[in-house]
Structure 1
């Protein structure tokens, strides 16, 4: 395995260029990395475009073997990934080992998906030469790759939503080449995974520019990637502010391109009356565990709970007791910790909010916080519906079923909405579900939203601002559809048809 270079991967070579920056690990020694400028971005995109002329026409079988090879190469670097990932992010080794397993599993899942051909949506309307008054031509349709894709890494998942994560896996499965913009919070982890992909490219004979890595700690490289004329789509996981800025750039291009941004959410949990009366305390403890998972740095973090006022105290008491036991812990980056503290202080300063718990952190660490507010006050203050990316939550006391319905209607777009319910709550749940399914990409009953299964039926996305495209998902095999487009071939000789259309 090659030692860390701090360079960019462009057309199969590790190349320099740009101003150096130094990483900020939680433990261990920092690494020096070059921050790319427009010249490196252009070189990577040119290489991706040239590679697409070959890679975009490879067989599904060959691409599946390539994805399997990436997974194998990542597994072979497991110890190094765990060591660097833990040092850079503060995440425990067990979490990173599990995340590596998820990363490799989703690569192999896409490989199997390719072999089945489920993504192709092949259609054939045979010619009807004798049809009156006009004959019908032979029409064949299939989904085809769109071209080079820019992918942005996430801070909170240095493996599963980063270099070889879901966006990269889906784009490569589709037949698209990828230029990946590394997250500055974990540059060593990023490079090791990029080394694994480069090794898989050599192993399977794919074009050198099939995957490129651009390291950067500024906005310049990201903006250049989105605005580059060869970029055909963007996959992004991160903050609302950063994602919205890049989305606006994508829409302002002379030729706008799809921007598939996952921007986070408050992921509300509705505790319905019978469930609240029967098990409020247990639900409070369970919610606290979900809220603080990964120091609250999950995009599916359940930041808001709506519960009948009559049973709120038992829930709040149990949640506060569980949260109190959580000591401040390191966050992914200093910027993440600063942003979390600002969000908590803003909520704590609102006069209508009752602060039940606030364990302050210092520097890069964060402690839990618990706030309580009445339904009317929450509805009147839209700032209470803004995500606090960390272990802080708001409990909303609902005075009636009507309050719950009003809160559901007032929600912005979410990744998830959860119902905690018993059989006696079915009628209220039936009234809420038609509202909530318009607000979120995933609805849950009697569970917690943290933990996103990688599967065919999974949807990880939702109406804006949870994501920038409500018809897409960034997790599960349906994610491949973001990087495909339908093409119809009329009266096309067999020799000119894509391979996947020749046998229908």
Structure 2
């Protein structure tokens, strides 16, 4: 995934913050100035001062539901502005806004439920071996969370997105580093969340916003920042991850970086529905002009007639795809350079040539390569095992399934891995499909069968993460358990009840789900 942090540029003095139209490259309006170190310090300290109010679960529940309502009330302006800054299209952005408000309300439900507190009570048992003291455990918020907004999701992974929503639900104030590709959208969304905070009786500074590359560096170093969430590129995310680890007091850094999202198509699947799979792949790899973190970037297809039919189907579907506009000129240039370098490798072919198109757009396409070229490590073909942000995928043609296994050993972690299987393979617990799923499991956080990875359902069971470099931790940025990133456990031992927080009282005055002496308890009425 592309990121501003790839550039590694720094500015001696704060520069103006401009909103830019990616369709024309023209500046739309000046939003303000990049934040200075003093500005970042003020934003973080204001967020820390606002932290006390978030201790009230009812207040933060109201904040999150109010934020969803405020965004919906300003939907027309937000969608129009986001489209002007990203060229993602109003239809896509309306859907993204609905997803954003939905996850805000979902995290409000989590905050209200209280299950995320993980209350466990073990009463004293002197007869146990060894004797057990009275132990009471729950989770508390870490503190101020720094959120680094994504380029490709100006709503769902930016100012009002999942990192912000889950952190606020956990009781952590947030300071967002806005992405330079959509500063005006960021300001609109931040204003909506601050209005919601005021309506909930909270300090508006529970949500802060800063602009500028240097501001992002200052933010990760600030001693009052307790954790960070990032969505972007491997290079940029790794730089911030290393900075978080190098602090005098290191902090958790939950980064979503690059992801290849491999797909394996069995011979049976290609033989049964080559045309359908080819068309589906075309739709998935071009969604959002190929700028989804879950885009299938490497697809293993069988050599031979069925594989040829699949490639022909993919070529036919892509040939009718109009050029798209990428999020900014730098990403367009990186995409063009990346596909040119890959296409120049010996044995690589381009049935439909991807690259820079006319009038600032990009053309979708795909490359093919014999799968056995990917097995050897340290060579030029390693480039094909790296994410290329934009509407391109690599088709690796295999003759022997062992070639898939050898290539997978060269791939880093991904958010997803997919298997397309034939009808009878679904009924064979010891067959090819089961073997492939077991082989793919170490490389991804979400495994799919007969589907496409683009599109991430916001649901309690969802996991949006994976082994490095997909993410820098084992947590998820989507789904109910994303809240756990911003909490830490605390245990009280042999503590008189009058000195305990109410969450740990025997009478359960807050009505929390909990486990007592090994038995799960649900509060009355649930």
1:109-120 equivalence runs, <5 A: 109-120=106-117
Name the residue aligned to 1:171.
Answer: 167
Name the residue aligned to 2:341.
Answer: 346
1:447-462 equivalence runs, <5 A: 447-462=451-466
| In 2: Cα distance, 1:353 partner to 1:133 partner | 66
* Structure 2 residue matching 1:388: 3-state secondary structure: coil
Choose the corresponding residue for 1:268, options 257, 262, 268: 262
1:116 is displaced (CA, Å) by 1.9
* Structure 2 residue matching 1:447: 3-state secondary structure: coil
Change (3 A) 1:38 1:312: same
Asked whether 1:246 is paired with 2:240, we answer yes
Q: Deviations over 1:5-28 (max 9, x none)?
A: xxxxxxxxxxxx943132211368
Name the residue aligned to 1:23.
Answer: 19
Tell me the TM-score normalized by structure 2: 0.89
Between the two proteins, the alignment pairs up a number of residues equal to: 482
With 352-361 and 238-247 compared, the bigger mean Cα shift is at 352-361
1:45 is displaced (CA, Å) by 1.0
1:454, 1:475 within 8 Å by CA — same for their partners in 2? yes
1:403 is displaced (CA, Å) by 1.9
| In 2: Cα distance, 1:430 partner to 1:488 partner | 42
Name the residue aligned to 2:372.
Answer: 376
* Structure 2 residue matching 1:124: 3-state secondary structure: strand
1:251 is displaced (CA, Å) by 1.1
Change (3 A) 1:142 1:132: closer
1:363 is displaced (CA, Å) by 6.3
Asked whether 1:316 is paired with 2:311, we answer yes
| In 2: Cα distance, 1:439 partner to 1:132 partner | 43
Q: Deviations over 1:370-426 (max 9, x none)?
A: 100011112232111111111001100111122223233332100000010123334
1:498 is displaced (CA, Å) by 2.8
Choose the corresponding residue for 1:476, options 479, 488, 492: 479
| In 1: Cα distance, 2:123 partner to 2:143 partner | 29
* Structure 2 residue matching 1:451: 3-state secondary structure: coil
Choose the corresponding residue for 2:77, options 75, 80, 83: 80
* Structure 1 residue matching 2:300: 3-state secondary structure: strand
Structure 1 unpaired stretches of 5+: 1-16
* Structure 1 residue matching 2:375: 3-state secondary structure: helix
Name the residue aligned to 2:330.
Answer: 335
* Structure 2 residue matching 1:74: 3-state secondary structure: helix
Name the residue aligned to 2:401.
Answer: 401
Q: Deviations over 1:112-163 (max 9, x none)?
A: 12222221221001123x4378753221001111000000100100000000
Asked whether 1:430 is paired with 2:434, we answer yes
Tell me the TM-score normalized by structure 1: 0.92
1:149, 1:171 within 8 Å by CA — same for their partners in 2? yes
Choose the corresponding residue for 2:299, options 299, 305, 310: 305
1:36, 1:221 within 8 Å by CA — same for their partners in 2? yes
With 223-232 and 21-30 compared, the bigger mean Cα shift is at 21-30
Name the residue aligned to 1:97.
Answer: 94
Name the residue aligned to 2:445.
Answer: 441
Asked whether 1:108 is paired with 2:105, we answer yes
1:167, 1:474 within 8 Å by CA — same for their partners in 2? yes
Choose the corresponding residue for 2:132, options 110, 133, 136: 136
Asked whether 1:417 is paired with 2:412, we answer no
Asked whether 1:326 is paired with 2:321, we answer yes
Name the residue aligned to 1:12.
Answer: none
1:41, 1:225 within 8 Å by CA — same for their partners in 2? yes
1:47 is displaced (CA, Å) by 1.1
2:44, 2:175 within 8 Å by CA — same for their partners in 1? yes
| In 2: Cα distance, 1:473 partner to 1:499 partner | 29
Q: Deviations over 1:432-468 (max 9, x none)?
A: 2222111100000010000000010100000001111
Choose the corresponding residue for 2:118, options 117, 121, 128: 121
Name the residue aligned to 1:148.
Answer: 144
Name the residue aligned to 1:279.
Answer: 273
Compute the RMSD of aligned alpha carbons.
1.7
Q: Deviations over 1:192-221 (max 9, x none)?
A: 0001011011101112321101122x2x11
Name the residue aligned to 1:50.
Answer: 49
With 228-237 and 17-26 compared, the bigger mean Cα shift is at 17-26
